[in-house]
Structure 1
């Protein structure tokens, strides 16, 4: 139970001009508690079920989609087209708003209206059972406000309380190798024909992603230095290499497909500030980086993947597929030249 009442949180919100995420960290409360405190004060509880929510979001037209984890934020401008619902996984496949959605983590959702000095800001904010943000949708000047009113009317919940019960955040699973199955891992890895087979493989061998990387060895994986991450983004930017950049959390993964046109470091943050794509990465959170090579029917799927000190995945970056305009050879050359860690895989 939070020591802060909804009234306290509303007062603190009016006194703080920073990000609610940072205020929640300072107060030791879930971010969703700050949003819930405004229910009845411009904020409405709505149905979080993606199968109901996303079609209403599509009707809004152009919006900004935001997904984050503790170390990276991705923002894309576009429309939620080509939605495919599913009980365990759903997705939007628009060229700009490209999402993988895991509905069981979409627990709390709010339609937020906030008055500012520049006008009314409108957003939809979705949180998991711990009150951590899963996905946010920010309306833009061109968004359809009639569709916004319809969304609020059709998705409003009967429960409009200004507080909620949140469960403790699940700890990050530490690296889980299984050295006794290392040979089986390497053998079956080399026989893969699709990247989606990887998760099935490591689950069957009782490992997780980072644990498998630590014991697979070359040529399947290559450990890189943390400095490889800014080097990677600098090369992508300078050479105009098309990539697929995945950023996510347990409930949502958001993907940018294309090039990077700007790169601006600011303190510990490395920022992409393109007109319809922003990325904000805490480079100082990067503790472990791997270059990964998975075989597929269409050729090698080469990725660079970064993890924090607890073993949480920060991002994955793949080369853009040739049929999407990518250059497999250019991407492979970029990855091959990234600085390797001066040790063998464990």
Structure 2
């Protein structure tokens, strides 16, 4: 046992030294990139912080998010490997289901949370280019970041500190690295119940029934679109610029409000509104608006699809991006409420995007 502890401490010291050297060599590199370079999880680097820079949090994450209703504005960040989604707003009535496995907030902060993928949480203080930043950071069992909540200038300091005191844990929970999260396998075409998929798709009444249809048909989302290519799904092609550049420019120029969904297995984060300040920086296409930032590495996005689903409110149109593993990384809908058809303005932008692909 003692030898195991000594080996773990030696490994941590070695990682700390490599981390420090990389920071000196690449001071502008973000911690997620550093974790990839060092072949460790992001959480392993976060746990190297000492003293007041790191406070472990109790695994009562639903209660913690509910407590944030009282802290005023915060900036929340959810991401996957390809897309980062940032919203500044106030939690309002975060709720969890009876089992506590799921939670949601609807309002300025709009999230759907799946707590079985939340394993560790920390209050983190870190030095950033803009100064000292304080955040709550949550990680899955593999040490990958699921969600982050940043204190901002207008966050109520006393309420924020009360949350930290209430949910701080006295001990650091041990972590045994398990490698990267396994990626779900794509469905094999000859195993998909194609007719079940086609018939079920044509009879859809609610976009929320889509997941159940995929299960019945024995397929993943991208394979379903490949099967339905034509009437219901169109693969969008890159031209002189990227699909996302064209879509965002169409939305900006038409002042068309849209809904941007970005997530990972532990959360889906949503922004609804218009976009205005667009900026391309190398492989990254960015929305840099007050209250909403989107950063998408379009070189890492393998395919884009325009998708149409029937519903009781008429056809619902979306633009969907997938990575090289076939995982959904970004979805854009026209802004709408349940029970209301999507806007003609959004359909016009979707048609314009399709016409340029």
- The TM-score with structure 1 as length reference comes to 0.90
**3-state SS in 1 of match to 2:246:** helix
Does the CA-based 8 Å contact 1:49-1:103 persist in structure 2? no
> Which of 264, 278, 299 is equivalent to 2:293?
278
2:83 pairs with 1:68: no
**3-state SS in 2 of match to 1:236:** helix
Instruction: Pick the structure with more helix per residue.
Output: 2
CA distance in 2, matches of 1:230, 1:183: 35
CA distance in 2, matches of 1:177, 1:328: 36
2:46 pairs with 1:35: yes
Distance 1:287 1:118, change over 3 A: closer
CA distance in 1, matches of 2:159, 2:252: 37
CA distance in 2, matches of 1:101, 1:323: 20
Does the CA-based 8 Å contact 1:177-1:212 persist in structure 2? no
CA distance in 1, matches of 2:171, 2:20: 23
Greater Cα offset, 30-39 or 332-341: 332-341
CA distance in 2, matches of 1:34, 1:288: 32
**3-state SS in 2 of match to 1:337:** helix
Alignment match, 1:157:
169
Alignment match, 1:8:
17
Distance 1:117 1:135, change over 3 A: closer
**Deviation of residue 224 (structure 1)?**
1.2
Distance 1:204 1:156, change over 3 A: same
CA distance in 2, matches of 1:242, 1:118: 30
CA distance in 2, matches of 1:237, 1:132: 33
Distance 1:325 1:236, change over 3 A: farther
> Which of 218, 227, 240 is equivalent to 2:255?
240
Distance 1:14 1:153, change over 3 A: farther
2:77 pairs with 1:101: no
Greater Cα offset, 221-230 or 96-105: 221-230
**3-state SS in 1 of match to 2:207:** coil
Does the CA-based 8 Å contact 1:243-1:326 persist in structure 2? no
Alignment match, 2:3:
none
> Which of 182, 185, 195 is equivalent to 2:194?
182
Cα RMSD for the two superposed structures: 2.5
Alignment match, 2:276:
261
> Which of 82, 92, 97 is equivalent to 2:105?
92
2:136 pairs with 1:124: yes
Distance 1:266 1:247, change over 3 A: same
1:117-166 deviations in whole A, cap 9, x for unaligned? 865321000011111110000101111121222122111113236x6223
Distance 1:341 1:314, change over 3 A: farther
Distance 1:325 1:275, change over 3 A: farther
Alignment match, 1:297:
312
1:292-320 deviations in whole A, cap 9, x for unaligned? 11111111111010111221211001111
**Deviation of residue 62 (structure 1)?**
0.5
- The TM-score with structure 2 as length reference comes to 0.88
CA distance in 2, matches of 1:177, 1:44: 45
**3-state SS in 2 of match to 1:168:** coil
CA distance in 2, matches of 1:101, 1:286: 24
2:208 pairs with 1:193: no
Structure 2: gaps (5+ residues): 1-7
Taking the TM superposition and a 5 Å limit, the aligned residue runs for 1:328-343 are 328-339=343-354
CA distance in 2, matches of 1:283, 1:106: 27
**3-state SS in 2 of match to 1:260:** coil
